[in-house]
Structure 1
Amino acid sequence: MSDPFIPFESISYTKRFLADCYERQSFANAKTVSYHTSYSFIYHLQQGRLYLQQAAQAPIEIKPMLLFYGIVQMLKACVLTVDPFYPENSTVLAHGVTARKRKKQGYRFLDDEIKVQKNGLFLHFLDKMFHVKQMPDEKYKMNFLLKQVADMHPLYSTMHNQDISIAVTQKSQSYMISDTILDDLHMTANRFSLFLEQSPNSKSWFHRQKGITALKQQITVPLHAAPTRYQSAPWLSTCDGDIYMLRKREDYCSLPELSIHYLLLYNLSMICRYEAEWWGELHHTFEGNDLPFIKQFLTSTTKKLPLLFEHYLFSINER
């Protein structure tokens, strides 16, 4: 379908979909609960889609705001598939992250940080949707977060004349990757296997019994099934489905990709709303490296967010 979310414009389909979600998670009175959550789910999804659609047509100066409001509404819809009682209290209504309020002289976006707060949507959706426990007060640099988006890697190669990732090839029930990744990560084959075992959701995709094999300058990683696109670390996929792996251990992040987009869009939306002078000069002076990375990310996330949400919603009852 050209618009995969169209079925959710039917209340009967949505009730059935949510009832299936709740039954799989052993919620009591799943059909009754789905009756109470279905309209809220539809309205969050509808509003999120509208924001994302408008963002695709909007000028870059206001695009971050529309994209952030869009991801927030879409996430709230997704949370309802795993937490029918959302929001139980006001503490989960805040954004759950914070950025530096005043930008100092010589500010660079790539060096900026964002901090996780104790309460709010961020920690809530990480826990409920992805079963990821994140510590409050954790800080992330924008440059680190951007590296988690595979669609950004070609720009890193161009701007820094260095590949930050290595391509992964999928063949039936395995991933194939050059054994140079072992030198990049300073690991033996056994250590690399352990590294994969400790990756998020590895039980669902890594076939431990078969184990990895290193032969003819290639490493073969056996799979139970292909990792999900919305939570694929250490595998990072582009909008087109190409798969990559980062080459430096310090670049690795266990957060699911939807949360990466959330953090980046929160900061960009705050900047374009409250740092109008810096934001305006960014688009006219062309100084530094911030603008190419911001523009490329906004182009990528506009295309990718609908794909990530589609993949999450339509695979939830298969897990």
Structure 2
Amino acid sequence: MKDALVPFESISYTKRFLTNCYEQQSFPNAKTLSYHTSYSFIYHLQQGRLYFKQAAQSPIEIQPMLLFYGIVQMLKACVLTADPFYPENSAILAHGVTTRKRKKQGYRFLDDEIKIQKNGLFLHSLSKMFHVKQMPSEKYKMNALMKQIADMHSLYSTMQNQKISLPVTYRYQSFSIASDLLDDLHMTANRFGLFLEQQNQNNWFNRQMGIQSNNHSITIPLHFKPTSYQSPPWLTAIDGKHYILRKREDFCPLPELSIHYLLLYNLSMICRYEAEWWGELHHNFEGEDLPFIKQFLSISNMKLPMLFEHYLCSLE
């Protein structure tokens, strides 16, 4: 398979790439800035890819740590494409999220919460890479985050008898969805159009054309097809197919890379500091946490390298 990140093993190519990134953002002295950031960019990229490679070859019990360290390194490389001065201070080096340190009796991973902090890599990467300036929520449940990953939906159907999404068909400059979605969301076509405008951070929605609806489907006109790494409210599976959630309360504006970051942070903390619970999870088979965690880790192993490749290649 083609390795789209191989060119970044050349310092001359990387300098040209970063110079172009900085020029497009109107940074003065773009060539000088790329000279100072190119080696750091390459080393973060190499470390991230090495963590991902090791995670794919490691027992599941330690995969969360390797995948989380991998996503941290890759995010730092990506942040350098938009912020040549990263890191400007020590506060920005923090992970930027936190969880409850001790797990209470009867703890369930899917019910656990993660809290967003004001400083650190999480918010900084959201701002620089995805132009998200303000978090819509301070806390997120693991179950809500899992639902943002399209590849998890089949497991929800099997384990909980929940059909939580509908398929989205891409046709030339439009998305088509079964009209059942409007009933699920309790929205008219016009109200759904207003909802999409609120989600329209990258201007993919063609407001002028308007949404067309009939008894069977609704058609959403697009300026361009949303990308796999930044697609809310469209969720993209690893096979490239698109889906949309059926409940308004399930919608989350975070890009999928950020969803993986939050889930992997919590799992990496658990496997490091909650060894007893983590060990029992893999041996007593009680509850539903283990299938969801195993499915998620399998998806992350396959999908994270692809998402980062898509992001960086979109900047070339």
TM-score (norm 1): 0.97
Query: Closer, same or farther in 2 for the Cα pair 1:312/1:189, shift >3 Å?
Result: same
Q: In 1, distance between residues paired with 2:96 and 2:239?
A: 31
Query: Closer, same or farther in 2 for the Cα pair 1:137/1:221, shift >3 Å?
Result: closer
Q: Which residue of 2 aligns with 1:231?
A: 230
Gapped runs of 5+ residues in structure 2? none
Q: In 2, distance between residues paired with 1:145 and 1:226?
A: 23
Q: In 2, distance between residues paired with 1:307 and 1:44?
A: 16
1:164 aligns with 2:153: no
Q: Which residue of 1 aligns with 2:265?
A: 266
Report the AA paired with residue 189 of structure 2: A
Q: In 1, distance between residues paired with 2:2 and 2:268?
A: 28
Spell out, residue by residue over 1:188-239, the C-alpha distance to the aligned partner (whole angstroms, 9 max, x if none).
0100111111104251x11111111002511011111100111100000001
Map 1:38-77; keep pairs closer than 5 Å. 38-77=38-77
- The answer on whether the counterparts of 2:4 and 2:313 sit within 8 Å (CA) in structure 1 is no
Q: In 2, distance between residues paired with 1:16 and 1:152?
A: 38
Q: In 2, distance between residues paired with 1:290 and 1:282?
A: 8
Q: In 1, distance between residues paired with 2:200 and 2:215?
A: 28
Q: In 1, distance between residues paired with 2:234 and 2:10?
A: 35
SS at 1:230 equivalent? coil
Q: Which residue of 1 aligns with 2:183?
A: 183
SS at 1:166 equivalent? strand
Q: Which residue of 1 aligns with 2:142?
A: 142
Query: Closer, same or farther in 2 for the Cα pair 1:216/1:187, shift >3 Å?
Result: closer
Q: In 1, distance between residues paired with 2:315 and 2:252?
A: 23
Q: Which residue of 1 aligns with 2:277?
A: 278
SS at 1:71 equivalent? helix
Report the AA paired with residue 183 of structure 1: D
Gapped runs of 5+ residues in structure 1? none
Q: Which residue of 2 aligns with 1:2?
A: 2
**CA RMSD in angstroms, aligned pairs only:** 1.1
SS at 2:219 equivalent? strand
Give the % identical residues: 76
Aligned residues: 316
Report the AA paired with residue 174 of structure 1: S
Q: Which residue of 1 aligns with 2:305?
A: 306
Map 1:239-258; keep pairs closer than 5 Å. 239-258=238-257
SS at 1:316 equivalent? coil
Deviates more, 1:229-238 or 1:211-220: 211-220
Spell out, residue by residue over 1:14-36, the C-alpha distance to the aligned partner (whole angstroms, 9 max, x if none).
00000000000000010111011
Q: In 2, distance between residues paired with 1:94 and 1:200?
A: 30
TM-score (norm 2): 0.98
Spell out, residue by residue over 1:58-97, the C-alpha distance to the aligned partner (whole angstroms, 9 max, x if none).
1100000000000000000000000000001001000000
Q: In 2, distance between residues paired with 1:227 and 1:82?
A: 20
